[in-house]
Structure 1
Amino acid sequence: MADPVSAAAAVGWAMKAAGWVASPIISELYKKASSLLSFDASQKLKELEPKILLLQRVMEIVEESPYRPRLQQLFNDLKSAFYEAEDILDDVEYYLLEKQIQDDYLKLEVAAPRRNKNHVKKLLTSAMKKCNFLKDQECGMSKIELKQSLEKIEKVINDACGFFEQMNLPNKSNTNLSKPANSRGAVTTARPPSLVIGRDKDCDNIVAMLHDNEEDAQPNTNRAQCYSVIGIHGIGGSGKSTLSQLVCAREQKDGHFNLVMWVHVSQDFSVDTIFGQMSEAASRTPCPQFNNLDTLQTNLEKVLHGKRFLLVLDDVWYNNRDVRQYEKLQQILSPLNAGEPGSKVLVTSRTKDALIALGAAEQRCIPMSVLGEDVFLKLFKHYAFHNVCVAADDRIRLEDIATQIAKKLKGSPLAAKIVGGQLRMRPNIDYWRSSRDGNHLDDTMGALWWSYQHLDEQVRRCFAYCSIFPRRRLLRQDELVKLWAAEGFARSSNEGKDSEDVCQGYFDELVSASFLQHKVEFHTGRKDTYIVHDLLLDLADKVAGSDCFKIENRWKRRGDSLIMEGGHEKEVPLDARHFYLQTYDSELITEKICKLDKLRTLIIDGVDVTKPVEDKVVKSLFVRLKKLRVLIIPVYNDQGTFSVPECIGQLRHLRL
């Protein structure tokens, strides 16, 4: 069996992404094309469905194939053709909307009293002039383009199937080639209650260390500190963040510390961002905008002055060969001496080296303990059986199967949560047996991938979209639902159902399956916020491929590539469709982003108050990115207003 982590980088992962690209889009085309076009498109699409299924199945067995480059190109061609058809379909529907408005205009003109007709006509004529409506010939062109696009899809799929016939594929059982079982009863959206099992002793030990009053000093330095460092290390998904959250919650109740701060440290973090988060966590108010790092540090020292604090630095990444990264970690610690003696820093990381780099003594580097077999089984059964109602005999058999599945999960709490959630939604004995007998659950990433495959197609598409956001970014429920609806992800057999209601259902399923995990916003106490676990975000990144791209923190240019803070080199994929930019940068937008003519989403999360958004940059976006469906830009100026340029009328796909 291929190593799941290696397979993640292989084309098989990307090809399986066709499950969320191809199937939902072809069903939408199947439903609408025949009513929009004069040729028999629906029959052609119906004939393509089994070929698409063959394409998806074959991709699952060619991850190690020498034909991989050719297969990758076929997949890219197929994905591009589907997206193109989706955009053209949107154009045609835009035309139909125009026709509807024109018809309503005529009805109003006929129905209006004679004395009001001129007034009504003037209003409607003015409104229609302000819109950039498609003309009849433009709609005709769109229909021709849609027909050509469907023919392109047909050609790509037929080419792929012909190519597969020439390949000497290994023999696989029907079981391995079959689609994931989807034998559900009623899908529950009940969210398992927050529960931590088997970590009470670990929590007690860490709290005892936090309350230790010994005179601590940082290793390898003569200068005594007002704080000491304690660290937790372990593999991804082992429960480090959960344990530190448990400790943090207890300390907030106990009142031993004047301040309790929680900060997530990303792989490519910037010191000023961390200082800002620390300041907000300490003061419970938004951090003021400062122009330089020294001012940020001075402000943070004022907040910490005279207070005994607990600072949790969660998920610290560290490479002991990276001198710059070490220097940044030391910078994070520099304002902390403003606090009172007895303050503590609790660090979580996948490596012990990170803890030592931040000053933890060897005896204060705590490895995550492995849950005992009985404790882990209890945790797994909690997620697998919560609120499940089955007959007593079936319950006994499911309990037995669950015990066998739990042994395959190698004690990973994250795998227990994700796999248990999938089983809970399908309390079917045959389904559980099939899950037990497969080889997908033998490691954490394999278990996550297995669980992803069992989500509904549109739900998979929504999950992959989450890869556009940075690690540990808090995602608001209403934000995600509105974004998915604007992207056109909603698919429902109920034509009259509101798209946001449909997407709310997708959201509930991701929460129920633990792909989105509830997390109260630490600074504000806001409760409708969620995060994607790091390993799940890794999975989303693989599934989304080049469709989603994000740029966090600082960057600089090297030729056509961007160098992220930390030295990671990235090239902006020309076929990117969803783009996240942490901070507005006019050069990056005009030089890079405006060239992405397939872009559907542009989210700019923040703006430096000293470098406001320029009208000419916004106008350039409107003129050049004509396929945009979502555009988010925080605009600040002296007047507190922003004038939308007239060229916004060119964005026919933009959702309001």
Structure 2
Amino acid sequence: MAETAASALLSVIFEKLTDEAFKKFARSQNIHSELNNLQSTLSHIQDLLSDASEKEITEKSVKKWLNSLQHLAYDIDDVLDDVATEAMRRELTQESGAITSKVRDLIVPACCTKFSLSERLHHKLDSINTKLQHLENQKGDLGLIVKNENPKNNNKGNETSLLESDVIGREKEKEKLLNKLLQDEPSKENFSVLPIVGMGGVGKTTLARFLYNDTQVKGRFELHAWVCVSDDFDISKITKTIFQAVSNENNEFADLNQLQVALKEKLKEKRFLLVLDDVWHENFNDWENLVLPFHSGARGSKVIMTSRKEQLLKMLGFDNLDHLETLSSEDALSLFALHALGVDNFDSHPTLRPKGERIVEKCGRLPLALKAIGRLLRAKTDEEKWDEVLNSKIWDSKSVGDFSADWKVIFPALMLSYHELSANLKRLFAYCSLFPKDFLFDKKELVLLWLAEGFLNKSNAAKSPERLGYEYFEELLSRSFFQQSPNEEPLFVMHDLMNDLATFVAREFFSRDDNRMTIGWLP
């Protein structure tokens, strides 16, 4: 998003403008007045960015305005870098000794160099200030206003685990699938497949996690493994993940054949439960190759497969698939209330219920969207804030990029949740677009990556950059931008639709080209 890039750039610019050494040099060059004007106009424009962030999604003119601001911000940053570089050069020159200084003064008088530099900077800054003032003057035509917002991101870190394991609704689905897991059904093979099929964000993984962690289910199976498959159906990678889960070993194998022989031995005559989460691949021959080691398991072994695709399952003999539908209106409202109010009802806030009902319908009764918007409103019980969310123009957004049909349905809710993040959190989330789908990451390692990129340098004196990074991480986790990995408790993952969101908003920041990652500002 253009607003995200512009906000981040302005933060960098303000940091440079407020540096004491920088201001001292600016006064010596008689450009402090121009820089003060620059800072003042930028502050006025910065106040408009929250409104622009919402409107750029539906209004091309605002998007164009933000792009112009972004490009001008690059020019400003370049000029400030020139000033800072010259200030450093002057400081080093002063330290080089009186003789060198006298020789330099004989060759080029100081007044001439000072005049030349000041003149160049005056010219550049006057031009920039004119363009910047022009951008500010356009606010009326664009309908941009200064929003009086409550402080964002007030959620506490200890709320991040809010009932992650609970599944509201789905009673029929839970009972049906539990019965299949706990009973030996007639099958030609030693293992059988239990499909969970539905659109993205409908709760397939959450339901699978509930089944996987059920006490009775855990006791019935000797071996357990969970694999996030996504659209990269790499048989060797999937097989190795299963092998590591059931063996607690991290052996290296020369080829897939050796790996499958080793897995076959580990599964031999043992009842196993395997979850293949988010399967997109529909090649039957690849499936047959993947499951070769599974045949050695004991009778009654199960494979839970979550997928948006039907073709492979139909090849496996599932002619009449039961789709996981969106939640009922009542269950959706309960889930939304749970994440917005901390309880699954509106008994304590009856006046909010009608607004909640309308928000639930705007979310399409999709659990992922309900959680995201619910956590956006967490502990905010004033009707004005709920009205602001309910009436946001983002719900009407159409330009959603080249993603799946599921993404287009859920996009407005996820975009609205992203819109409410602070500028710093937006940049940190956008950075995570560099992660492939279903990539498992460690909290500490991600904070160190943020730190290495310079994203955490603006910490206040009371907090170290690392501490600030951990707080930012917990905030993104509490808002459902991150999730705990289903099978790797210390690790985290982004829902693939959140990954799509990160990719969408990060286009002005970063790019990912196959296996190469490019980090930095994209002009």
Query: Under a length normalisation based on structure 1, what TM-score does the superposition of the two structures give?
Result: 0.63
Aligned to 1:484: 450
Aligned to 1:77: 71
CA RMSD of aligned residues (A): 4.3
Residues 1:213 and 2:211 aligned together: no
What secondary structure sits across from 1:530 in the alignment? strand
Residues 1:404 and 2:358 aligned together: yes
Q: Separation in 2 of the partners of 1:68 and 1:148?
A: 32
Residues 1:532 and 2:497 aligned together: no
What secondary structure sits across from 1:361 in the alignment? coil
What secondary structure sits across from 2:359 in the alignment? helix
Q: Separation in 2 of the partners of 1:185 and 1:504?
A: 14
Aligned to 1:543: 505
Aligned to 2:252: 289
Residue among 374, 385, 400 paired with 1:431: 385
Give how far 1:281 is off.
1.6
Q: Separation in 2 of the partners of 1:46 and 1:166?
A: 16
Aligned to 1:362: 319
Residues 1:21 and 2:3 aligned together: no
Aligned to 1:342: 300
Q: Separation in 2 of the partners of 1:528 and 1:94?
A: 45
Cα 1:497–1:400 shift into 2, 3 Å:
same
Aligned to 1:460: 426
Cα 1:61–1:200 shift into 2, 3 Å:
closer
1:44 maps to a residue whose letter is L
Contact 1:485 1:500 in 2 (8 A): yes
What are the residue-to-residue correspondences of 1:234-245 with 2, within 5 Å?
234-245=198-209
Cα 1:163–1:370 shift into 2, 3 Å:
closer
Q: Separation in 2 of the partners of 1:233 and 1:276?
A: 25
Give how far 1:251 is off.
6.2
Aligned to 2:279: 316
1:375 maps to a residue whose letter is D
Residue among 232, 235, 259 paired with 2:196: 232
Aligned to 1:201: 172
Aligned to 2:38: 44
Aligned to 2:156: 188
Contact 1:228 1:360 in 2 (8 A): no
What are the residue-to-residue correspondences of 1:480-519 with 2, within 5 Å?
480-490=446-456, 492=458, 494-519=460-485
Aligned to 2:105: none
Q: Separation in 1 of the partners of 2:293 and 2:37?
A: 68
Cα 1:236–1:80 shift into 2, 3 Å:
farther
Q: Separation in 2 of the partners of 1:409 and 1:84?
A: 43
What secondary structure sits across from 2:192 in the alignment? strand
Give how far 1:249 is off.
0.9
Give how far 1:491 is off.
5.7
What secondary structure sits across from 1:231 in the alignment? strand
Contact 1:440 1:450 in 2 (8 A): yes
Cα 1:423–1:263 shift into 2, 3 Å:
same
Residues 1:303 and 2:266 aligned together: yes
Segments of 5+ residues of structure 1 without an aligned counterpart are: 1-13, 103-143, 218-224, 554-571, 579-597, 600-656
Q: Separation in 2 of the partners of 1:387 and 1:95?
A: 61
Residue among 267, 287, 308 paired with 1:329: 287
Contact 1:81 1:152 in 2 (8 A): no
Residues 1:380 and 2:336 aligned together: yes
Q: Separation in 2 of the partners of 1:18 and 1:304?
A: 50
2:192 maps to a residue whose letter is S
Give how far 1:213 is off.
2.7
Give how far 1:263 is off.
0.5
Give how far 1:31 is off.
2.5
Query: Under a length normalisation based on structure 2, what TM-score does the superposition of the two structures give?
Result: 0.77
What are the residue-to-residue correspondences of 1:2-151 with 2, within 5 Å?
14-32=1-19, 34-35=22-23, 37-38=25-26, 39-40=31-32, 41-51=35-45, 61=55, 74=68, 77-78=71-72, 80-81=74-75
Cα 1:49–1:230 shift into 2, 3 Å:
same
Give how far 1:180 is off.
8.4
Give how far 1:69 is off.
10
Q: Separation in 1 of the partners of 2:122 and 2:180?
A: 65
Aligned to 1:279: 243
Segments of 5+ residues of structure 2 without an aligned counterpart are: 96-115, 397-408
1:199 maps to a residue whose letter is R
Give how far 1:275 is off.
1.2
Aligned to 2:394: 440
What secondary structure sits across from 1:367 in the alignment? coil
2:509 maps to a residue whose letter is D
Contact 2:44 2:136 in 1 (8 A): no
Contact 1:517 1:531 in 2 (8 A): yes
Identity rate, percent: 28
Aligned to 1:632: none
Contact 2:276 2:303 in 1 (8 A): yes
Q: Separation in 2 of the partners of 1:148 and 1:328?
A: 65
| Higher RCO by CA contacts (8 Å cutoff, separation 6 or greater) | 2
Contact 2:41 2:136 in 1 (8 A): no
What do residues 47-95 of structure 1 show as CA deviations (whole Å, max 9, x unaligned)?
2233455578567656677889977974663575577689889989999
Q: Separation in 2 of the partners of 1:233 and 1:93?
A: 63
Residue among 415, 439, 464 paired with 2:369: 415
What do residues 207-259 of structure 1 show as CA deviations (whole Å, max 9, x unaligned)?
22234433324xxxxxxx32222211111110000001111112675422221
What do residues 282-320 of structure 1 show as CA deviations (whole Å, max 9, x unaligned)?
11332x1223222222222222222222221100113x6
- What is the aligned length? 478
Cα 1:85–1:410 shift into 2, 3 Å:
farther
Cα 1:548–1:88 shift into 2, 3 Å:
farther
Cα 1:254–1:289 shift into 2, 3 Å:
closer
Q: Separation in 1 of the partners of 2:254 and 2:62?
A: 49
2:365 maps to a residue whose letter is G
1:240 maps to a residue whose letter is K
Cα 1:440–1:150 shift into 2, 3 Å:
farther
Q: Separation in 2 of the partners of 1:538 and 1:85?
A: 35
Cα 1:58–1:420 shift into 2, 3 Å:
closer
Cα 1:313–1:56 shift into 2, 3 Å:
same
Contact 2:274 2:303 in 1 (8 A): yes
What do residues 108-135 of structure 1 show as CA deviations (whole Å, max 9, x unaligned)?
xxxxxxxxxxxxxxxxxxxxxxxxxxxx
Q: Separation in 1 of the partners of 2:63 and 2:389?
A: 31
Cα 1:86–1:480 shift into 2, 3 Å:
farther
Q: Separation in 2 of the partners of 1:368 and 1:438?
A: 29
